[in-house]
Amino acid sequence: MKVGVWGLGSMGLGMAQSLVRAGHEVAGFDPRGVALEGAVDVPPGAMDGAVVVVLNAAQLETVVGELAGALPEGAVVLACATVPPDTARALAERCRAAGLLYLDAPISGGAAKAAEGRLSIMASGEPAAFARAEPLLDAMAETVFRLGDAAGAGSAMKAVNQMLAGTHIAAMAEAMVFGVTQGIDPARFMEVIPRCAGTSWMLENRGPHVVDADYAPRSAVDIWPKDLGIVAAIAEAAGIEMPVMQAALARFREASEAGLGGEDDAAVAKVYARQAGVALP
């Protein structure tokens, strides 16, 4: 298929590479001038689909606005940013009015899996959108969760997953620093807890970053004020209390305000360590 990828950050670039490897004709678009090896020059008017991997709802709205006047009728827009479900529903309506198919398709898995074509995609949209997008999904994803025939459900599941993922990172940091105050060093913590009922996917993935004092950003602190902020906004609109998530969100905001926003998200542990007056590795 002829496809454009909008947004060549660590996720979008890997996804574009996976599409190239699968034999699609791929054009890449990024305001930072990131180059995509194997890219070809495909004008939007000739595209079968567009994959949009931008940072937030405002950027997604801008790109979809441009695509609505440029893609040919029947092309599919895969919207991969983390956005509120209401945004997904509104953009799907906008695409329908422009004769385009819209797949609400937030992604999960990180940059390495993006480059390997092994992402998880939480997708919802009308059957025609799934059908048109299938070759692209095959190239980019190991697992496609089919969450129904209306945009919004994919974004809702992504919000649920992010709520848990962010909360578990903060809980890991809180527990690790608590352990340090009780004489348990982080390396010992990581030997024991992953084999006990207190473990989580995020603990096992991010804990080693603290042990190794390696805060090169695989996923940055600043992701979480954004994504948990989306969760908080949805929760407020729905009138529900989420005190555990709110406590985690507050810690990530503190980390960001302390200048740690560009570091790996495991650096939220530094906020805890400073408050507790203990040293991490």
58 binds a second copy (CB under 8 A): no
Considering the complex, what minimum distance in angstroms separates the CB of residue 135 from a second copy? Answer: 23
Q: 67 or 175, CB closer to a second copy?
A: 175
225 binds a second copy (CB under 8 A): no
Considering the complex, what minimum distance in angstroms separates the CB of residue 87 from a second copy? Answer: 13
Give the integer Cα–Cα distance in Å for 49 and 198. Answer: 43
Q: Count of CB atoms within 10 A of residue 142's CB?
A: 13
The region of 1-9, 10-18, 41-49, 143-151 touching a second copy under the rule CB under 8 A is 143-151
Give the integer Cα–Cα distance in Å for 212 and 202. Answer: 16
Give the integer Cα–Cα distance in Å for 242 and 269. Answer: 22
221 binds a second copy (CB under 8 A): no
DSSP 130: H
Site string for a second copy, 249-268 (x = CB under 8 A): -xx-----------------
DSSP 72: P
**CA 36: distance to chain centroid?**
20
Closest CA to 79 of 42, 36, 25, 122: 122
270 is catalytic: no
Contact between 210 and 189 under an 8 Å Cβ cutoff? The reply is no
By three-state DSSP, how is residue 96 classified? helix
The only residue of 35, 69, 73, 196 in contact with a second copy, by rule CB under 8 A: 196
56 binds a second copy (CB under 8 A): no
Considering the complex, what minimum distance in angstroms separates the CB of residue 57 from a second copy? Answer: 16
8 binds a second copy (CB under 8 A): no
Give the integer Cα–Cα distance in Å for 25 and 2. Answer: 5
Amino acid sitting at position 152: G
Positions touching a second copy (CB under 8 A) are 85, 108-110, 120, 122, 143, 145, 147, 152-153, 156-157, 159-165, 167-168, 170-172, 174-175, 177-179, 181-184, 188-189, 191-193, 195-203, 205, 231, 234-235, 238-248, 250-251, 272, 275-277
Residues with catalytic function: 158
